[in-house]
């Protein structure tokens, strides 16, 4: 099939490469010539493990093309995927301006009938809005929703091994046609009404975020009653109705999706006169989790003035260079504000973090360099490599012997045996 993908961010590029890998002919469109030039050379414009290999493979196979020529791409295709950003506005609602601009461009450029597929996370009813914008063009358009469930850092795997594919359409036959694009993927396939598909995406992310806030509340209770949240999570996660995933307590969720989508769903419900109380609490707990952790550090170190603190991790989670809504960034800022000097290291996110952190922050070449002479060390991202550090060496390098593990990443018994004073979340 011939497909255009509008937007080459996380969702757009992974979808373009993934659909080419499934055998389709794909034109990926971005209006920035520099980005297109890089992608044409097989170079990624953001970090995503495994994506570069498939990108180069499909460029070589001539199944994947990159272009700034919107009209040419669209008129060469039968399907057009809208994969542009929908960042949050001040009130938490999704900013749809990029989606509207693309719909307007399709309306102007299209010289044929098309199936237009929304892959951007958009509020319920956006399909109808896009349909309305496309009406100004005389051709026949079907507007479909096909939400993405990709995790950053594991996006290639998730695209090729999805738990399910959801397609929402106003006509079953159109939904099935879009679903046929994924014929090679053996998984659960759900064709629904368009509004239902739009809501599935928000409901999935809001549910996962709720699980995280729930276990974080349990962690806070664990600290009060002397229980261990990891064992509680294991104990409840063995119940198949609960399952063990997304039950890791810590400094709360971040990233480009959970914070934005939870706020957006709360706002969508509110705009329809429904007060989504649970989501308000999920957000409140998540914000509180960072603050609790900062308070824990302040309490133990008494004063942060002139203290050297090593912060390991800046990305919102492991395997990505993305720092959007990262708890680690908030923690660095709060500690600096309280007078501490921060030396930090992240395997991938240093360049992105440098753009937002203060000039005072010291960026180091390794975790060991960050730890040198530190009074305390903070783990703020769950990079597995941090767990694998030579902690005896870290202890020798540090001045103080205190670890604050915001991701419950380290083996408590092991580091305590080495003589560290160890603080984590919910233990």
For residues 272 and 125, give the distance between their C-alpha atoms in angstroms, rounded to a whole number: 12
Question: Is residue 406 within 8 Å of 250, Cβ to Cβ?
Answer: yes
| One of 21, 148, 330, 375 touching ligand UDX (CB under 6 A) | 148
Among 14, 83, 257, 410, binds ligand UDX (CB under 6 A): 257
Q: In what order do the strands lie in the sheet with 164-168?
A: 64-67, 25-29, 2-6, 79-82, 114-118, 141-145, 164-168, 188-192
| 83: annotated active-site residue | no
Q: Is 255 in the site for ligand UDX (CB under 6 A)?
A: yes
Using rule CB under 6 A, residue 248 touches ligand UDX:
yes
Binding mask 175-214 for ligand UDX (x = CB under 6 A): ------------------------------x--x---x--
Min dist CB 67 to ligand UDX, Å, is 26
Distance of CA 62 to the CA centre of its chain: 30
> Does 404 sit near ligand UDX (CB under 6 A)?
no
What phi, psi does 191 have (nearest 5°)? -100, 125
- Per-residue binder mask for ligand UDX (CB under 6 A), 53-92, x = binder: ----------------------------------------
Burial 190-203 (b: 16+ CB within 10 A, else e): ebbebbebbbbbbe
Q: Which of 63, 260, 290, 317 binds ligand UDX (CB under 6 A)?
A: 317
When binding is defined by CB under 6 A, the residue of 1, 42, 129, 246 that contacts ligand UDX is 246
Q: Residue 330, interface with ligand UDX (CB under 6 A)? A: no
Degrees to nearest 5, angle at CA 86 with 179 and 259: 100
The runs of H, that is alpha helices, within 338-418 are 350-354, 367-371, 384-387, 391-397, 412-417
In the chain, how many H helices and how many E strands? 18, 14
Contact (Cβ atoms closer than 8 angstroms) between residue 345 and residue 367? yes
**What is the total count of residues that contact ligand UDX (CB under 6 A)?**
20
Stretch that binds ligand UDX, among 23-31, 49-57, 80-88, 243-251 (CB under 6 A): 243-251
Catalytic sites, residue numbers: 257
- Give residues in contact with ligand UDX (CB under 6 A): 148-152, 205, 208, 212, 246-248, 250, 253-255, 257-258, 316-317, 382
């Amino acid at each position: 099939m011939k497909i255009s993908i509008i937007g080459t961010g996380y969702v757009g590029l992974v979808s373009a490469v993934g659909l080419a890998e499934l055998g389709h002919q794909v034109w990926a469109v971005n209006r920035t010539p520099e980005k297109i030039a890089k992608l044409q050379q097989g170079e990624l414009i953001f970090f995503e493990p495994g994506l570069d290999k498939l990108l180069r493979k499909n460029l070589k196979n001539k199944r994947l093309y990159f272009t700034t020529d919107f009209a040419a791409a669209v008129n060469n295709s039968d399907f057009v995927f809208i994969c542009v950003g929908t960042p949050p506005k001040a009130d938490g609602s999704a900013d749809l301006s990029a989606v509207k601009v693309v719909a307007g461009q399709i309306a102007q450029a299209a010289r044929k009938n098309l199936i237009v597929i929304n892959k951007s996370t958009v509020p319920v009813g956006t399909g109808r809005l896009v349909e309305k914008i496309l009406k100004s063009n005389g051709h026949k358009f079907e507007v479909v929703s096909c939400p993405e469930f990709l995790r950053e850092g594991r996006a290639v795997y998730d695209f090729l091994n999805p738990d399910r594919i959801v397609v929402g359409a106003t006509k079953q036959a159109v939904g099935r046609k879009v679903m046929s694009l994924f014929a090679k993927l053996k998984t659960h396939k759900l064709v629904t009404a368009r509004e239902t598909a739009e809501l599935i995406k928000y409901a999935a992310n809001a549910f996962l975020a709720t699980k995280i806030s729930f276990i974080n509340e349990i962690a806070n209770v664990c600290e009060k009653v002397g229980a261990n949240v990891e064992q509680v999570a294991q104990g409840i996660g063995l119940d198949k109705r609960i399952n063990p995933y997304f039950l890791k307590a810590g400094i709360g969720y971040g990233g480009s999706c959970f914070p934005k989508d939870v706020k957006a769903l709360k706002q969508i419900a509110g705009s329809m006169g429904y007060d989504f109380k649970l989501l308000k609490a999920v957000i409140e707990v998540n914000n509180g989790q960072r603050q609790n952790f900062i308070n824990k550090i302040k309490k133990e170190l008494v004063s942060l003035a002139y203290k050297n603190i090593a912060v390991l991790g800046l990305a919102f989670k492991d395997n990505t260079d993305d720092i959007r809504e990262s708890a680690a960034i908030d923690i660095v800022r709060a500690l600096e504000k309280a007078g501490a000097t921060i030396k930090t290291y992240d395997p991938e996110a240093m360049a992105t973090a440098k753009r937002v952190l203060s000039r005072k922050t010291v960026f180091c070449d390794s975790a060991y360099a960050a730890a040198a002479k530190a009074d305390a060390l903070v783990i703020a991202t769950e990079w597995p490599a941090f767990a694998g550090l030579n902690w005896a060496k870290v202890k020798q390098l540090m001045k103080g012997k205190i670890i604050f593990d915001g991701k419950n990443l380290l083996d408590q018994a092991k580091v305590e045996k080495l003589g560290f004073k160890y603080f984590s979340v919910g233990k």
